[in-house]
Structure 1
């Protein structure tokens, strides 16, 4: 009987380690994906800003060198550049919002996967606890499983609230 309880405990520990490793891997992958997306968004934003600044500098230089007619043309180009800058800024903001939502969606999926994996582990633990021959062992295991389920549910709920 003691060997069966030890085997059940070892199986539970092994399953818990697998779940922990899976959750850690999912978290690491989500963090890496989020960082890569943010880095790409920042690189695109910098490139677009540099292009816009270069266009603005070219327009300003023409205005300084030209006559009144060139000044009028430079002002016209400046207005076009301003409009492009505003349009690019709006596009960047839209892109950043989409990236943030995409990152949140990925994290929501990781939370769902973690919760599903934890549920599977808790079901396995319940089966193992049900096979115990001693009532106090069953009661202790059931209490531990319920506590772990409550903590997991609270964590998942808090995570989802942060991702709204």
Structure 2
């Protein structure tokens, strides 16, 4: 493998770590602000995290507020797990014979996490649409829920790649038996 490819893989690994840590921090912030808004100070919903104001929803209905924040936390955790799988791929891949069961399983797991992120994002957007129709002010909500359709498309691509990887594993094993 060339030096340029190695450098690019190292940079991607570092960026994956940064994104993973950032998503873990975001999930922790959302959880802490949620607990604070529910049990300590209801005004904590005004600045939930990262310029997200759900105080109108908190005042409207606490259960709906809890469901929406729970969806956002779950989405963020699933995104973090997606990047954790990517980090595991960087740690375990062998560029001499890249087709291994472990890498194939990690790619399949990434497609499952992407599918769940996409589905949960679509559900959360639909659920939030109910409150937007009621004219509740929910600024910056779509930034935190994410783009479900993009993750669904990504899940399909990753699943296709996992199928290609499975075929590559078969060919690699056949090649090893011939030699």
Name the larger-Rg structure. Answer: 1
TM-score for both structures, normalised by structure 1 = 0.41
Task: Give the number of the structure with larger relative contact order, counting CA–CA contacts within 8 Å between residues 6 or more apart.
Answer: 1
